[in-house]
Structure 1
Amino acid sequence: MQDISRTEIEDFLFTEADLLDEWRLPEWLELFTEDAIYYVPSTDVAPDASPDKNLFYVADDRFRLSERVKRLMKRTAHAEFPHSRTRHLVSNVRIRNRKDDEIEVGSSFITYRTKDGITDTYFGSNRYRLVVDNGSIRIREKRCLLDSEGLRTQGRVSIIL
Protein backbone atom coordinates (compact mmCIF):
# COMPACT_ATOMS: atom_id res chain seq x y z
CA MET A 1 0.00 0.00 0.00
CA GLN A 2 2.97 2.31 0.56
CA ASP A 3 3.90 2.22 -3.14
CA ILE A 4 0.57 3.48 -4.50
CA SER A 5 0.69 7.12 -5.60
CA ARG A 6 -2.02 9.75 -5.46
CA THR A 7 -1.99 9.78 -9.26
CA GLU A 8 -2.80 6.06 -9.35
CA ILE A 9 -5.63 6.61 -6.89
CA GLU A 10 -6.95 9.54 -8.95
CA ASP A 11 -6.93 7.36 -12.08
CA PHE A 12 -8.83 4.68 -10.16
CA LEU A 13 -11.47 7.19 -8.96
CA PHE A 14 -11.78 8.66 -12.48
CA THR A 15 -12.35 5.14 -13.81
CA GLU A 16 -15.03 4.60 -11.18
CA ALA A 17 -16.76 7.83 -12.27
CA ASP A 18 -16.62 6.79 -15.95
CA LEU A 19 -18.17 3.39 -15.19
CA LEU A 20 -21.03 5.08 -13.32
CA ASP A 21 -21.63 7.65 -16.07
CA GLU A 22 -21.65 4.94 -18.73
CA TRP A 23 -24.07 2.81 -16.66
CA ARG A 24 -21.55 -0.04 -16.60
CA LEU A 25 -22.72 -0.90 -13.10
CA PRO A 26 -21.74 -4.61 -13.11
CA GLU A 27 -18.16 -3.57 -13.93
CA TRP A 28 -18.35 -0.82 -11.28
CA LEU A 29 -19.42 -3.41 -8.71
CA GLU A 30 -16.23 -5.38 -9.43
CA LEU A 31 -14.23 -2.46 -8.02
CA PHE A 32 -15.48 -3.47 -4.54
CA THR A 33 -14.10 -6.16 -2.25
CA GLU A 34 -16.31 -9.02 -1.09
CA ASP A 35 -16.58 -7.45 2.38
CA ALA A 36 -17.26 -3.94 1.03
CA ILE A 37 -19.75 -1.43 2.36
CA TYR A 38 -21.30 1.56 0.59
CA TYR A 39 -22.85 4.31 2.72
CA VAL A 40 -24.77 7.49 1.98
CA PRO A 41 -25.75 8.93 5.37
CA SER A 42 -28.56 11.44 5.63
CA THR A 43 -27.43 15.05 5.62
CA ASP A 44 -28.10 15.60 9.32
CA VAL A 45 -25.87 12.90 10.85
CA ALA A 46 -22.19 13.02 11.77
CA PRO A 47 -19.80 11.92 9.00
CA ASP A 48 -18.61 8.88 10.96
CA ALA A 49 -22.06 7.85 12.18
CA SER A 50 -23.14 4.23 12.11
CA PRO A 51 -26.20 3.07 10.15
CA ASP A 52 -27.10 0.94 13.16
CA LYS A 53 -28.27 4.00 15.10
CA ASN A 54 -28.81 6.67 12.43
CA LEU A 55 -30.82 7.25 9.28
CA PHE A 56 -28.91 6.57 6.08
CA TYR A 57 -30.15 7.01 2.52
CA VAL A 58 -28.05 3.99 1.57
CA ALA A 59 -26.34 1.47 3.86
CA ASP A 60 -25.36 -1.47 1.67
CA ASP A 61 -23.02 -4.35 2.25
CA ARG A 62 -21.61 -6.08 -0.85
CA PHE A 63 -24.63 -8.35 -1.25
CA ARG A 64 -27.14 -5.48 -1.04
CA LEU A 65 -25.01 -3.40 -3.37
CA SER A 66 -25.03 -6.20 -5.94
CA GLU A 67 -28.83 -6.43 -5.63
CA ARG A 68 -29.07 -2.65 -6.14
CA VAL A 69 -26.96 -2.93 -9.30
CA LYS A 70 -29.10 -5.78 -10.66
CA ARG A 71 -32.29 -3.81 -9.97
CA LEU A 72 -31.00 -0.60 -11.56
CA MET A 73 -30.00 -2.47 -14.72
CA LYS A 74 -33.52 -3.83 -15.26
CA ARG A 75 -36.23 -2.16 -17.31
CA THR A 76 -38.54 -2.53 -14.31
CA ALA A 77 -36.48 0.02 -12.35
CA HIS A 78 -38.95 2.75 -13.26
CA ALA A 79 -37.04 5.55 -11.51
CA GLU A 80 -34.04 4.81 -13.74
CA PHE A 81 -35.47 3.48 -16.98
CA PRO A 82 -34.60 4.88 -19.30
CA HIS A 83 -31.38 5.60 -17.45
CA SER A 84 -30.65 9.09 -16.23
CA ARG A 85 -27.78 10.87 -17.84
CA THR A 86 -25.14 11.52 -15.21
CA ARG A 87 -21.77 13.17 -14.92
CA HIS A 88 -19.62 12.39 -11.90
CA LEU A 89 -16.86 14.93 -11.30
CA VAL A 90 -14.09 14.02 -8.86
CA SER A 91 -11.60 16.50 -7.41
CA ASN A 92 -9.39 17.32 -4.42
CA VAL A 93 -8.19 13.74 -4.07
CA ARG A 94 -6.09 13.34 -0.94
CA ILE A 95 -4.49 10.39 0.78
CA ARG A 96 -5.62 10.74 4.38
CA ASN A 97 -3.85 7.78 5.95
CA ARG A 98 -1.78 4.79 4.93
CA LYS A 99 -1.97 1.56 6.87
CA ASP A 100 -0.34 -1.78 6.20
CA ASP A 101 -3.32 -3.18 4.36
CA GLU A 102 -5.34 -0.12 3.24
CA ILE A 103 -5.29 3.52 2.25
CA GLU A 104 -7.83 6.06 3.46
CA VAL A 105 -8.66 8.55 0.71
CA GLY A 106 -10.83 11.63 0.60
CA SER A 107 -12.19 13.44 -2.45
CA SER A 108 -14.80 16.01 -3.39
CA PHE A 109 -17.54 15.26 -5.88
CA ILE A 110 -20.30 16.83 -7.89
CA THR A 111 -22.75 14.54 -9.63
CA TYR A 112 -25.19 15.95 -12.18
CA ARG A 113 -28.26 13.89 -13.02
CA THR A 114 -30.59 14.76 -15.89
CA LYS A 115 -33.89 12.98 -16.47
CA ASP A 116 -37.28 14.06 -17.79
CA GLY A 117 -36.07 17.60 -18.42
CA ILE A 118 -34.88 18.14 -14.84
CA THR A 119 -31.25 18.40 -13.77
CA ASP A 120 -30.36 17.62 -10.16
CA THR A 121 -27.04 18.38 -8.53
CA TYR A 122 -25.55 16.26 -5.75
CA PHE A 123 -22.33 17.48 -4.15
CA GLY A 124 -20.16 16.60 -1.21
CA SER A 125 -17.19 14.48 -0.31
CA ASN A 126 -16.33 10.83 -0.56
CA ARG A 127 -14.33 8.86 1.94
CA TYR A 128 -12.77 5.64 0.73
CA ARG A 129 -10.92 2.79 2.34
CA LEU A 130 -8.96 1.19 -0.51
CA VAL A 131 -7.00 -2.05 -0.59
CA VAL A 132 -4.90 -3.90 -3.12
CA ASP A 133 -6.41 -7.24 -4.11
CA ASN A 134 -4.67 -9.44 -6.68
CA GLY A 135 -2.62 -6.47 -7.86
CA SER A 136 -5.61 -4.15 -8.35
CA ILE A 137 -6.93 -1.32 -6.23
CA ARG A 138 -10.36 -2.14 -4.82
CA ILE A 139 -12.87 -0.39 -2.57
CA ARG A 140 -13.44 -1.78 0.91
CA GLU A 141 -15.62 1.15 1.98
CA LYS A 142 -17.15 4.12 0.19
CA ARG A 143 -18.95 6.78 2.22
CA CYS A 144 -20.65 9.59 0.26
CA LEU A 145 -21.21 12.64 2.45
CA LEU A 146 -23.72 15.00 0.87
CA ASP A 147 -23.16 18.69 1.60
CA SER A 148 -26.67 19.86 0.74
CA GLU A 149 -29.07 20.51 3.60
CA GLY A 150 -31.32 17.73 2.39
CA LEU A 151 -32.82 16.16 -0.71
CA ARG A 152 -35.81 18.49 -1.00
CA THR A 153 -34.92 19.53 -4.53
CA GLN A 154 -34.00 16.06 -5.81
CA GLY A 155 -36.45 14.17 -3.64
CA ARG A 156 -34.51 10.90 -3.87
CA VAL A 157 -31.23 9.19 -4.62
CA SER A 158 -32.07 6.73 -7.39
CA ILE A 159 -28.58 6.80 -8.94
CA ILE A 160 -25.29 5.68 -7.50
CA LEU A 161 -23.25 8.59 -6.26
Structure 2
Amino acid sequence: MSLDTAPTGPKAAEERVGAKPTGNGGRYSAQSRLGGHAPRTERTGRALPFDDPRHLQAHQWMVEEAYILDAQNYEDWLDLLTEDIHYIMPVRVTTALTAGFDSAPHMAHFDENKYSLSRRVARFLTEHAWTEDPPSRLRHHVTNVRTFATPNEGEIVVDTAVLLYRSRGDVREASVISAGREDLLRRGGEGWQLARRTILVDDSVLRTQNLAVFL
Protein backbone atom coordinates (compact mmCIF):
# COMPACT_ATOMS: atom_id res chain seq x y z
CA MET A 1 0.00 0.00 0.00
CA SER A 2 1.38 3.41 -0.93
CA LEU A 3 1.69 6.28 1.49
CA ASP A 4 -0.99 8.13 -0.45
CA THR A 5 -3.57 5.44 0.21
CA ALA A 6 -2.52 4.33 3.71
CA PRO A 7 -5.25 4.73 6.38
CA THR A 8 -4.81 7.61 8.78
CA GLY A 9 -6.10 8.58 12.22
CA PRO A 10 -5.55 7.37 15.81
CA LYS A 11 -6.99 3.89 15.21
CA ALA A 12 -4.81 3.27 12.17
CA ALA A 13 -1.76 4.55 14.03
CA GLU A 14 -2.40 2.12 16.89
CA GLU A 15 -2.77 -0.78 14.47
CA ARG A 16 0.56 0.08 12.84
CA VAL A 17 2.42 -0.14 16.18
CA GLY A 18 0.80 -3.38 17.28
CA ALA A 19 -2.12 -2.28 19.40
CA LYS A 20 -3.92 -4.73 21.64
CA PRO A 21 -7.25 -4.53 23.51
CA THR A 22 -7.42 -3.30 27.09
CA GLY A 23 -9.74 -4.45 29.83
CA ASN A 24 -12.10 -1.53 29.25
CA GLY A 25 -12.53 -2.18 25.53
CA GLY A 26 -10.08 0.49 24.42
CA ARG A 27 -6.79 0.00 22.57
CA TYR A 28 -3.24 0.93 23.33
CA SER A 29 0.22 0.36 21.94
CA ALA A 30 2.07 -2.70 23.20
CA GLN A 31 5.13 -0.45 23.44
CA SER A 32 3.49 1.95 25.89
CA ARG A 33 3.39 1.55 29.66
CA LEU A 34 0.86 4.33 29.90
CA GLY A 35 -1.67 2.75 27.57
CA GLY A 36 -3.87 4.49 25.07
CA HIS A 37 -5.92 6.76 27.29
CA ALA A 38 -5.11 5.65 30.84
CA PRO A 39 -7.71 2.84 31.18
CA ARG A 40 -9.67 2.92 34.41
CA THR A 41 -9.14 0.44 37.21
CA GLU A 42 -11.90 -2.16 37.46
CA ARG A 43 -14.50 -1.47 40.13
CA THR A 44 -17.65 -3.28 41.23
CA GLY A 45 -21.04 -1.87 42.13
CA ARG A 46 -21.94 1.60 43.33
CA ALA A 47 -19.87 3.84 45.57
CA LEU A 48 -19.47 2.55 49.12
CA PRO A 49 -21.62 4.24 51.80
CA PHE A 50 -19.92 7.07 53.66
CA ASP A 51 -20.12 5.10 56.92
CA ASP A 52 -18.45 2.02 55.44
CA PRO A 53 -15.19 1.34 57.35
CA ARG A 54 -13.26 1.09 54.08
CA HIS A 55 -14.49 4.51 52.97
CA LEU A 56 -13.63 6.07 56.33
CA GLN A 57 -10.14 4.56 56.25
CA ALA A 58 -9.58 5.69 52.66
CA HIS A 59 -10.78 9.22 53.43
CA GLN A 60 -8.43 9.46 56.41
CA TRP A 61 -5.58 8.10 54.25
CA MET A 62 -6.16 10.81 51.64
CA VAL A 63 -6.19 13.57 54.25
CA GLU A 64 -3.00 12.32 55.89
CA GLU A 65 -1.29 12.06 52.51
CA ALA A 66 -2.30 15.64 51.68
CA TYR A 67 -0.66 16.91 54.87
CA ILE A 68 2.52 14.97 54.08
CA LEU A 69 2.66 16.46 50.57
CA ASP A 70 1.97 19.96 51.91
CA ALA A 71 4.90 19.58 54.30
CA GLN A 72 7.01 18.16 51.46
CA ASN A 73 7.98 15.15 53.58
CA TYR A 74 8.55 13.16 50.42
CA GLU A 75 10.54 10.37 52.04
CA ASP A 76 7.53 9.68 54.29
CA TRP A 77 5.30 9.85 51.21
CA LEU A 78 7.34 7.12 49.49
CA ASP A 79 6.53 4.83 52.42
CA LEU A 80 2.85 5.15 51.50
CA LEU A 81 3.48 3.63 48.05
CA THR A 82 3.59 -0.04 47.08
CA GLU A 83 6.70 -1.41 45.40
CA ASP A 84 4.76 -1.79 42.13
CA ILE A 85 3.24 1.71 42.18
CA HIS A 86 2.21 3.18 38.81
CA TYR A 87 1.84 6.98 39.00
CA ILE A 88 0.56 8.52 35.78
CA MET A 89 -0.68 11.93 34.67
CA PRO A 90 -1.80 11.88 31.03
CA VAL A 91 -1.63 14.95 28.82
CA ARG A 92 -5.15 16.34 28.38
CA VAL A 93 -6.25 17.48 24.93
CA THR A 94 -9.25 19.35 23.56
CA THR A 95 -11.28 17.11 21.23
CA ALA A 96 -14.67 16.98 19.57
CA LEU A 97 -17.55 15.69 21.66
CA THR A 98 -17.74 12.49 19.60
CA ALA A 99 -14.01 11.71 19.77
CA GLY A 100 -14.43 9.33 22.69
CA PHE A 101 -11.25 10.44 24.50
CA ASP A 102 -9.80 13.60 26.04
CA SER A 103 -6.19 12.63 26.77
CA ALA A 104 -3.30 12.22 24.35
CA PRO A 105 -2.45 8.55 23.70
CA HIS A 106 1.02 7.51 24.90
CA MET A 107 1.84 10.99 26.29
CA ALA A 108 2.08 11.91 29.96
CA HIS A 109 3.46 14.57 32.28
CA PHE A 110 4.22 11.76 34.75
CA ASP A 111 4.59 8.04 33.99
CA GLU A 112 6.46 6.78 37.04
CA ASN A 113 7.26 3.69 39.08
CA LYS A 114 8.68 3.40 42.59
CA TYR A 115 12.27 3.75 41.44
CA SER A 116 11.72 6.86 39.31
CA LEU A 117 9.67 8.51 42.06
CA SER A 118 12.41 7.78 44.59
CA ARG A 119 14.98 9.36 42.24
CA ARG A 120 12.86 12.50 42.03
CA VAL A 121 12.67 12.64 45.81
CA ALA A 122 16.41 12.05 46.17
CA ARG A 123 17.12 15.01 43.90
CA PHE A 124 14.86 17.26 45.99
CA LEU A 125 17.18 16.58 48.93
CA THR A 126 20.32 17.76 47.13
CA GLU A 127 21.73 21.25 46.64
CA HIS A 128 21.00 20.95 42.93
CA ALA A 129 17.21 21.05 43.32
CA TRP A 130 17.12 24.66 42.15
CA THR A 131 13.49 24.39 41.00
CA GLU A 132 12.48 24.07 44.66
CA ASP A 133 15.09 26.22 46.41
CA PRO A 134 13.55 28.26 47.90
CA PRO A 135 10.74 25.73 48.23
CA SER A 136 7.17 26.25 47.12
CA ARG A 137 4.39 26.86 49.61
CA LEU A 138 1.86 24.12 48.92
CA ARG A 139 -1.71 23.36 49.92
CA HIS A 140 -3.48 20.24 48.65
CA HIS A 141 -7.28 20.50 48.95
CA VAL A 142 -8.80 17.02 48.60
CA THR A 143 -12.59 16.71 48.27
CA ASN A 144 -15.41 14.64 46.73
CA VAL A 145 -14.01 11.37 48.04
CA ARG A 146 -15.80 8.29 46.68
CA THR A 147 -14.70 4.71 47.23
CA PHE A 148 -15.52 1.55 45.30
CA ALA A 149 -15.00 -2.14 45.93
CA THR A 150 -12.93 -4.17 43.46
CA PRO A 151 -12.80 -7.89 42.60
CA ASN A 152 -9.80 -8.10 44.95
CA GLU A 153 -10.96 -7.98 48.57
CA GLY A 154 -7.74 -6.28 49.66
CA GLU A 155 -8.03 -3.38 47.19
CA ILE A 156 -10.36 -0.41 46.78
CA VAL A 157 -10.66 2.33 44.17
CA VAL A 158 -10.80 5.91 45.46
CA ASP A 159 -11.96 8.83 43.33
CA THR A 160 -11.07 12.33 44.57
CA ALA A 161 -10.96 15.91 43.37
CA VAL A 162 -7.74 17.75 44.22
CA LEU A 163 -6.90 21.44 44.05
CA LEU A 164 -3.22 22.32 44.48
CA TYR A 165 -2.37 25.91 45.43
CA ARG A 166 1.29 26.68 44.87
CA SER A 167 3.17 29.87 45.70
CA ARG A 168 6.92 30.32 45.30
CA GLY A 169 9.05 33.39 45.82
CA ASP A 170 7.74 36.94 46.15
CA VAL A 171 7.25 38.05 42.54
CA ARG A 172 5.47 35.34 40.58
CA GLU A 173 1.74 34.91 40.90
CA ALA A 174 0.58 31.75 42.64
CA SER A 175 -0.53 28.86 40.45
CA VAL A 176 -3.47 26.52 40.86
CA ILE A 177 -3.82 23.01 39.45
CA SER A 178 -7.23 21.35 39.50
CA ALA A 179 -7.51 17.63 38.83
CA GLY A 180 -9.43 14.45 39.37
CA ARG A 181 -7.61 11.41 40.70
CA GLU A 182 -8.38 7.72 40.50
CA ASP A 183 -6.37 5.77 43.06
CA LEU A 184 -6.03 2.09 43.80
CA LEU A 185 -5.36 1.46 47.49
CA ARG A 186 -4.06 -1.95 48.56
CA ARG A 187 -4.15 -3.25 52.11
CA GLY A 188 -0.76 -4.42 53.35
CA GLY A 189 0.85 -5.35 56.63
CA GLU A 190 1.15 -1.69 57.62
CA GLY A 191 -2.28 -0.57 56.41
CA TRP A 192 -3.36 0.88 53.09
CA GLN A 193 -0.80 1.79 50.44
CA LEU A 194 -1.12 3.48 47.06
CA ALA A 195 -0.69 0.99 44.19
CA ARG A 196 -1.86 3.16 41.29
CA ARG A 197 -2.68 6.82 40.76
CA THR A 198 -4.14 8.28 37.58
CA ILE A 199 -4.30 12.09 37.58
CA LEU A 200 -6.55 13.84 35.07
CA VAL A 201 -5.83 17.57 35.20
CA ASP A 202 -8.58 19.98 34.19
CA ASP A 203 -6.35 22.03 31.87
CA SER A 204 -4.81 21.12 28.54
CA VAL A 205 -2.09 23.72 29.21
CA LEU A 206 -0.61 23.75 32.72
CA ARG A 207 -0.11 27.27 34.04
CA THR A 208 2.60 26.52 36.55
CA GLN A 209 6.34 27.12 36.26
CA ASN A 210 7.27 23.42 36.52
CA LEU A 211 6.06 20.10 37.87
CA ALA A 212 8.50 19.70 40.74
CA VAL A 213 5.55 18.70 42.94
CA PHE A 214 3.30 15.68 43.41
CA LEU A 215 -0.48 15.62 43.14
| TM-score, normalised via structure 2 length | 0.67
Q: Which runs of 5+ in 1 are unaligned?
A: none
Aligned equivalents of 2:111, 2:123: Cα separation in 1 = 16
2:208 corresponds in structure 1 to 154
Kindly indicate whether the alpha-carbon contact (under 8 Å) linking 2:144 and 2:160 is maintained by their aligned counterparts in 1: yes
Q: 1:24 to 1:8 in 2, by over 3 A?
A: same
Instruction: Give the count of matched residue pairs.
Output: 156
Contact 2:81 2:195 in 1 (8 A): yes
Residue pairs, 1:133-144, within 5 angstroms: 133-144=188-199
Q: Secondary structure at the match of 1:20?
A: helix
Query: Which residue of the partner structure matches residue 96 of structure 1?
Result: 148
**Structure 2: how far apart are the matches of 1:54 and 1:104?**
23
More strand by proportion, 1 or 2? Answer: 1
Q: Percent identity?
A: 26
With over 3 angstroms needed to count, the CA separation of the structure-2 counterparts of 1:35 and 1:96, relative to structure 1, is same
Task: Tell me the TM-score normalised to structure 1 length.
Answer: 0.88
The reply on whether 1:77 has 2:129 as its aligned counterpart is yes
Instruction: Specify which of 159, 182, 185 is matched with residue 127 of structure 1.
Output: 182
How far the C-alpha of 1:136 sits from its partner, in A, is 0.5
Q: Provide the aligned C-alpha RMSD in A.
A: 2.1
1:27-85: CA deviations, max 9, x gaps? 00110000111111112295787xxx511011111110111111122221111112101
Q: Which runs of 4+ in 1 moved over 3 A?
A: 45-49
CA distance in 1, matches of 2:57, 2:190: 13
Select which of 63, 79, 82 maps to 1:30. Answer: 79
**In the alignment, which residue of structure 2 is the partner of 1:111?**
164
| Residue segments in structure 2 that go unaligned for 5+ positions in a row | 1-47, 95-100
Higher relative contact order, chain-length normalized (CA < 8 Å, sep 6+): 1
Offset from partner CA, 1:10-42 (integer Å, 9 cap, x none): 110011110010010000011000011111111
Equivalent residue of 2:128, what SS?
coil
User: Offset of 1:127 from its aligned partner?
Assistant: 0.7
Partner of 1:7: 56
Quick check: 17-26 or 97-106, which moved more? 97-106
Distance 1:65 1:4, change over 3 A: farther
- On the 8 A contact 2:91/2:204 being kept in 1, the answer is no
